[in-house]
A and B are shown apart, each in its own frame.
Chain A
């Protein structure tokens, strides 16, 4: 236990060590996070009146980012399945970066839900959940469960590597398999949270659930592809082209399914053109002069389509096309599975009121702050994990950067 405390302390110190690029990145994230914190303090004092939400559109930017990030978190499973079920060697040493991203995403999800609550001081009321009927209650359980599963798996593997010890399979393999099912469940439950609302036909649509998962399994691994290339360039950690190629294939298949389901949804709703399609019409074409989302959803659909075309062109050695495709689809799906999914369901309301939603500056600052916090956490995770997994930082070895910058981190190491 003492050793574990010392491990955490050394990780904490290590998170303050890096080159100028690392410092600049962390400084930027810290500044944005603090601006977000300040904006949240403002919201906490004055109430949710500081947001753009209304009686008619009572979920906005926060819940939009929440639904998107639940997907990003579930995407770690796209690395876990090839490694633990199909015994893929290329991804074996990289799977942990997916799991760590899941942890960071879930933390962001929880922050987004917290800032969306009118009374966050009453979070202890969640100790008595309305089960089994409330999907939000289930969401609390599955998100927390997924967070702890991934924290345990990553923490255990990294600590074993730090101790230069072979991990005991029974302490993590069962949890890996539980986490695979659990990852699907977090996205399914979050989708059920929306599709179960009978009065809003835009959500009350079974295709939302598979589309949720397909879009998650393309945007999440796309983010991992970009991260792994940053890791490859900024450290000596081994990231093979084959690993990136496999992730690229996963993204391509998931995005193809997502686009197919999109066409299927568009056809069903627009061809029949019943009263149920009115929210989709608002999203795509606007209702009269109310058309705030039209300028967002079309670029999103075009981005995703271009990304799909780029991914079907055979991979080049520079990964340039893949990277462009990844950026396009991360943004495209952020719009489509964020604001594009949440807001139209409220416009019009079931009794016909049409009220549009525009986030306020304060709301946007809080959102940016949470993203910065999440990326800060993920950067620290990656910063610590690379030297530990590559054997440069262990319980009995001083890491070279520590030696240069920090005074004697292991004064009396055990076992020496």
Chain B
């Protein structure tokens, strides 16, 4: 593919936006969405390179990543619900009970 670089650049931009979102947002749900965005960026990289190298392994791996992302989203939301029951907020600044 002659425009492989474009795909990789898009993927890295998406990944960076996702990282910044994880590091700077307060709302836990938004952080989860940004994590999903990072995972999708990685998926894009896998597919682009698989098409470029002519090897289907990359696309198979994308299935695994999507499965993991789904499971993780489910677990994360359940965690947040449990947290909300305790603290009446899903603000990550309030997750400070792990401090000694």
Same complex: no
